Amino acid sequence: MATRDVQASRHPAARKPGWVGSALGMVGQLVLWLLVALLFSILAEWVGQTWVWPERGVEHSRMMLEREAAYINQDFHRSAIPGVGEPAAYVQQFADVAYEGLIKATGVEWLLDWLARPPDPEGGRFQRALRSGYAAAEPYVLSAITITQVFALRLGVLTLAMPVFVLFALVAVVDGLVQRELRRWGGGRESSFVYHHAKRLMAPSIAMAWVVYLAMPVPVHPNWVILPFAVLNAVTVAITASRFKKYL
């Protein structure tokens, strides 16, 4: 018994993180996935700029920004989120904040403006090398900045789209519980295998909507991405509710 007590004191039971730790962990994972999606979208734009649409160059990313904003202006006039009167203005704020915070406030805009100037013969060899090298990399730097604004614009669209997932999920819960009651009164058997696997797919079906939409290298209407994933999430919610244990 003494040996067991000594071993237990050496290896204390791992404590589960509280709700604050769990929330911080979820936020950290969300930020990580957003950074991965942003890097992927920038790399995809660079690949396309080099081999797929070299004749367009940086204009392709600018066209994406204009078309994404046009989708919001044309098809979204009201929002289900309280306090959001004009969806277009709300989404545009995301792009503006991204540019102000990441480009202007950090001094990147000033640095790029300095690098874009012609080499100064009296500025030294290092200065001439920097400006000469930036001349070749400038289209890629400008496209990365524009894609970051597109990313922020889409991020604003996704925040507006969350009520769609909530509405679809509520309908799915009602339908699933009705199916559960019908199975209960009919004496049907339950499948814990289906229940647990459907439950695990609820969160990924929402996360994949964010990752896919944010990383798309071409302009796409939000409905073509958000609605399919909202339906997929609703299906997983309905299956989970319908396969819930028979007695609450």
How do residues 55-94 score in pLDDT, each as one tens digit? Answer: 998 999 999 999 999 998 888 877 777 777 788 899 999 9
Residue 223: CB atoms within 10 A of its CB come to: 14
Contact indicator for 40, 215 with CB cutoff of 8 Å: yes
Q: For 125-142, write each residue's pLDDT tens digit.
A: 888 888 888 988 999 999
Q: State how far the alpha carbon of 187 is from the alpha carbons of 178, 179, 228, 248, in Å.
A: 14, 12, 34, 16
**Where exactly are the structural domains of the chain?**
34-242
Dist CA 173 CA 239 (whole Å): 9
Sequence-distant (≥ 6) Cβ neighbours of residue 220 within 8 angstroms = 213
Radius of gyration of the chain from its Cα atoms, rounded to whole angstroms: 25
What's the pLDDT at 55? Answer: 92
User: Among residues of the chain, what percentage have pLDDT more than 90?
Assistant: 49
Helix axis angle, 19-47 relative to 125-185, nearest 10°?
Answer: 120
* pLDDT at position 220: 93
pLDDT digits (tens, 9 = 90+) for 155-195: 999 999 999 999 999 999 999 999 888 877 776 666 676 77
Question: Residue 146's pLDDT is what?
Answer: 96
Could you give the angle at which helices 108-115 and 125-185 cross, rounded to 10 degrees?
Answer: 140
Mean pLDDT of 99-113: 93
So what's the pLDDT on residue 166? 94
Q: At what angle do helices 87-99 and 125-185 cross, to 10 degrees?
A: 140
Side chain identity, residue 222:
P
d(CA 208, CA 36): 13
Under DSSP, is residue 137 helix (H, G, I), strand (E, B) or coil?
Answer: helix
CA dist., res. 240 & res. 41, Å (int): 33
